[in-house]
Amino acid sequence: MIQQENRQLNKQDYKTLTLAALGGALEFYDFIIFVFFAVVIGQLFFPPGMPQWLVLMQTYGIFAAGYLARPLGGIIMAHFGDLVGRKRMFSLSILLMAVPTLAMGMLPTYESIGIAAPLLLLLMRIFQGAAIGGEVPGAWVFVAEHVPKKRIGLACGVLTAGLTIGILLGSLVATIINSMMSLEAIHNGGWRIPFFLGGIFGLFAMYLRRWLKETPIFIEMQARKALASELPLKSVVFNHTKAVSVSMLLTWLLSAGIVVVILMTPNYLQTQFGIERVIALKANSIAIIALCAGCIIAGVSADRFGASKTLIFGSILLGIASWTFYHSATNVDLLFVTYGLAGLSVGVVGAVPFVMVRAFPAEVRFSGLSFSYNVSYAIFGGFTPICVTYMMKFTPMAPAYYVLILSIIGLCLGLYLRNDIDATEDVAELEPVDLQKQTV
Q: Where are the domains of the chain?
A: 11-437
> What value does the mean pLDDT of the chain take?
80
Nearest to 155 by CA among 430, 399, 433, 364: 430
Neighbouring-strand partners of residue 429: 2
Question: pLDDT, tens digit, for every residue of 200-209?
Answer: 877 887 777 7
Three-state secondary-structure class, residue 2: strand
Q: Which CATH architecture has domain 11-437?
A: Up-down Bundle (1.20)
Q: HSE (CB half, 13 Å, CA atoms) of 126?
A: 7
Range with top average pLDDT, 92-106, 210-224, 245-259, 358-372: 245-259
Report which DSSP code applies to 6: S
Q: What is the largest CA-CA distance in the chain?
A: 64
Q: Is the pTM here over 0.85, yes or no? A: no
Q: Would you say residue 27 has pLDDT above 80?
A: no
* Contact yes or no for 261/236 (Cβ under 8 A): no
Q: pLDDT, tens digit, for every residue of 320-351? A: 999 999 998 888 889 999 999 999 999 999 99
CA 130 → CA 72, 82, 92, 200, distances in Å? 6, 18, 11, 19
More confident residue, 12 or 346: 346
Whole-number percent of the chain with pLDDT over 90: 20
Q: Does 279 score more than 80 pLDDT?
A: yes
Q: What angle do CA 313, 314, 315 make, to 5 degrees?
A: 95
For residue 182, what pLDDT is reported?
A: 86
Q: State the average pLDDT over residues 77-94.
A: 67
pLDDT tens sequence across 395-426: 889 999 999 999 999 999 999 988 654 333 33
